[in-house]
Amino acid sequence: MRSEPTIHLAIPKGRMETGVFNLLAAAGIEVHVGQRGYRPTLSEPGFEVKLLKPQNIVEMLGVGTRDIGFAGADWVAEQQADLVELLDTGLDPVRIVAAAAEGLLADGRLPDQHLVVASEYERLTRSWIVNRGLDASFVHSYGATEVFPPEDADVIVDNTATGETLSANGLAIVEELMSSSTRLYASPGAVADPEKKSAIDGLVLSLRSVLEARKRIMLELNVSLQDLDAVIEALPSMREPTVAMLHGGAGMAVKAAVPRSDLPRLIPRLKQLGATDIAVSRLEQIVP
């Protein structure tokens, strides 16, 4: 009997690690980190896991020693890696931006002079320099890029979540190069293998169901028969809400999975339309 294939999974070590662990746990997949801290185990059989830096995950997927892995879209773009994007988790959202010392800018624009640009993102930065037609030299940084200006660089290209670190260092954003987040990627060879692809698809389905559930909540309410149509029309449900008659025909019970972001305006509107006994509960997973 042919054994099931092993899926070699890479998880980013560092700030992205906790979010990925929590996402897996929400899908019912526990991660156990033992004494061999870089080789955790999953409660789901068939997966062999290693913790790596995000940059290395992209490299390992590219050469095929890892089948799937979580990494930032910025490093995939930086390395021009030929990978298959399976899922955008939306975790760790950042922007890759060019920023300069505020005193260097005129009306928010870079001056027409030779510039020194520092970054960890060499390919992205050199491409930006060429596309902008800048007279500039590139300096490779190895972390803490925001401290380079003004003495050691005029401009930096770096990632930022809120812009606070840039602002604290007297830098102003000149341009956004791209947006990034933690995503699940696969090597082309892994998705070309039917058996591996089946296992990978199962994992993606589980994770996607968690991400979908995080965007929605279950809303339950009671309403009279005469107000039912107006309430249903106001509900932004996935397809159609579930409707059932209350005991004794006293009214109707309505249940729908609605976007979490709609709640602040939705609940007052439903009350106006005659809804009562409104209950909100969290969803763990949604599989369309």
Same domain membership, residue 158 and residue 142 = yes
- The predicted pLDDT at position 1 comes to 44
Same domain membership, residue 154 and residue 140 = yes
pLDDT by residue (tens digit) across 199-249?
A: 999 999 999 999 999 999 999 999 999 999 999 999 987 788 999 999 988
Closest CA to 9 of 205, 255, 187: 187
Same domain membership, residue 243 and residue 189 = no
- The predicted pLDDT at position 240 comes to 86
Closest CA to 104 of 92, 96, 94, 114: 114
- The predicted pLDDT at position 102 comes to 87
Six-digit token pair at 283? 């969803």
Same domain membership, residue 34 and residue 149 = no
Please enumerate in sequence order all residues whose Cβ is within 8 A of that of 266, keeping only pairs 6 or more positions apart, or say none: 219, 234, 235, 236, 258
- The predicted pLDDT at position 199 comes to 94
Mean pLDDT confidence for 113-136 = 96
Same domain membership, residue 196 and residue 77 = yes
Report d(CA 88, CA 92) in Å as an integer: 11
Residue labelled with tokens 């439903």: 270
Domain edge (last residue) among 136, 156, 180: 180
Q: Which letter, b or e, does each residue of 70-83 get, where b requires 16 or more Cβ atoms within 10 Å of its Cβ?
A: bbbbbbbbbbebeb
Residue labelled with tokens 């979490």: 260
Six-digit token pair at 28? 């019912």
Six-digit token pair at 212? 């979908």
Same domain membership, residue 83 and residue 29 = yes
Lowest-confidence region among 36-45, 50-59, 248-257: 36-45
- The predicted pLDDT at position 35 comes to 66
Same domain membership, residue 85 and residue 31 = yes
Q: Mind spelling out the 3-state secondary structure of the chain?
A: CCCCCCEEEEEECCCCHHHHHHHHHHCCCCEECCCCCCCCEECCCCEEEEEECHHHHHHHHHHCCCCEEEEEHHHHHHHCCCCEEEEEEEEEEEEEEEEEEHHHCECCECCCCCEEEEECCHHHHHHHHHHHCCCEEEEECCCCHHHCCCCCCCEEEEEECCCHHHHHCCEEEEEEEEEEEEEEEECHHHHHCHHHHHHHHHHHHHHHHHHHHHCEEEEEEEECHHHHHHHHHHCCCCCCCEEEECHHHCCEEEEEEEEHHHHHHHHHHHHHCCCEEEEEEECCCCCC
- The predicted pLDDT at position 36 comes to 63
In a domain, 41, yes or no: yes
Report the domain count for the chain.
Answer: 3
What pTM does this model have?
A: 0.88
The CATH number of whichever domain residue 237 belongs to comes to 3.30.70.120
Mean pLDDT confidence for 162-191 = 94
In a domain, 2, yes or no: no
The CATH number of whichever domain residue 202 belongs to comes to 3.40.190.10
In a domain, 288, yes or no: no
Amino acid in the structure at residue 197: K
pLDDT above 70 coverage of the chain, percent: 98
Compare 128 and 109 and report the one with higher pLDDT. 128
Average pLDDT, rounded, for the chain: 93
Lowest-confidence region among 104-108, 170-174, 192-196, 228-232: 104-108
Same domain membership, residue 28 and residue 81 = yes
- The predicted pLDDT at position 288 comes to 77
In a domain, 135, yes or no: yes
Domain housing 226: 216-282
- The predicted pLDDT at position 108 comes to 80
- The predicted pLDDT at position 61 comes to 97
- The predicted pLDDT at position 3 comes to 66
Same domain membership, residue 64 and residue 194 = yes
Six-digit token pair at 23? 């996402």
Are residues 45 and 9 in contact, defined by beta-carbon separation less than 8 angstroms? no
Are residues 266 and 234 in contact, defined by beta-carbon separation less than 8 angstroms? yes
Q: Mind spelling out the 3-state secondary structure of 131-157?
A: HHCCCEEEEECCCCHHHCCCCCCCEEE
In a domain, 261, yes or no: yes
